[in-house]
Amino acid sequence: MTAVFNHHLELLIACIIYGTVGIYMQFLEEMSIGSIIFYRVLFGLSAILLYLAVTGNLNQLALKRKKNYLLLLGILYVLQMFSYYSSIRYLGASSAVLLLYTDPIYLTILAPLLLGEKNTGKTIFALFLGLIGVFYVTRPEGGFEQLEFGSDYLKGVLFGLAGGLFSSGVIISVRYLRDEYNGLTQLFWQSVISLFFLSPFAVSVPRNVLAENLPVLVLFGVLITGVGAVFYIRGVTGVNAITASILTLLEPVSCIFFDYTVLGNPIHSGMLTGCIFILAAAIVISLDDSVSLRKLFMWDIITFNKGDFVRRKPVLRAQNK
């Protein structure tokens, strides 16, 4: 197998692992969201430390500049996870993961303000697609008139949209820090910071509940935060930005697949329609700037040679979704 194929495989495995989050949340219904995140991060962080020790890369964890932004990354990461997992609990994994993938909508608005990046016709088009997708995903089967104020459905939608917002903040922070810290270093320190803020939730869990759920929590943390993150970072650094962005779309697809086949949760037509629009927005936003809207509409993209794409440093998405 070639090195490129190996990187593709690593990225795909990571996304499939991330897609199992709904299954773990189903088994951990008796625990609060904060305590689930704490123990998941704790066991995942232990796995990452073991990996770095075995590979002789513990020196990567040295702190350099921009420490305040590492702190900000950790805070945004906690808020993203809390919002995402709350959305799963209220709304289900399928809708929650699609709302998490609305981050291109927020990036289109925030990136010009915070990073000085200019919007183009491509980013505006992605914003338009994303908004249509959100409309279909958040719309109940009976229409918005069926939506009751204070209902679990509305709470799930609001938490999901907040998760997408905080996810965009994580992505912007990762972009800003990537020249100073690599992906694993960022993941390590954001996890340490997360444990500090989530520690009150850890002591609030009754012993019998913790003991009963410990095997699931260990597996959850090691696979999602540890193994999944390592595969993700190894994979994404070996492919170009466009390929990485498109391959990571397997995460919401696998999440919906497991939600339907393993957990038996229904999938309505609006969710599938919204899925198409949101994933299309993610694909459009990941395309190189040389791909104009005209080429996109005419499907001329399939005639591009490899040289038509600029190999850029991949933008790491928020790990451990």
- Any domain includes 195: yes
Q: At what angle do helices 183-203 and 229-236 cross, to 10 degrees?
A: 160
Q: CA quadruple 153, 158, 162, 164: dihedral positive or negative? A: positive
Q: Are 19 and 255 in contact (CB under 8 A)?
A: yes
- Any domain includes 313: no
Q: Are 25 and 224 in contact (CB under 8 A)?
A: no
pLDDT at residue number 140: 67
Distance (Å, rounded) from C-alpha 270 to C-alpha 257? Answer: 16
- Any domain includes 263: yes
Higher pLDDT among residues 145 and 17, named by residue: 17
Domain housing 264: 3-308
- Any domain includes 314: no
- Any domain includes 257: yes
- Any domain includes 236: yes
- Any domain includes 321: no
Counting the structural domains of the chain, the total is: 1
- Any domain includes 104: yes
Burial of 318 from C-beta contacts in 10 A (0-12 / 13-18 / 19+) = buried
pLDDT tens digits, 23-54: 999 999 889 999 999 999 999 999 989 988 98
3-state secondary structure of 63: coil
pLDDT tens digits, 207-252: 999 999 999 999 999 999 888 888 887 777 676 655 666 677 778 8
Is pLDDT of 157 > 60?
yes
Is pLDDT of 7 > 60?
yes
Q: pTM of this prediction?
A: 0.80
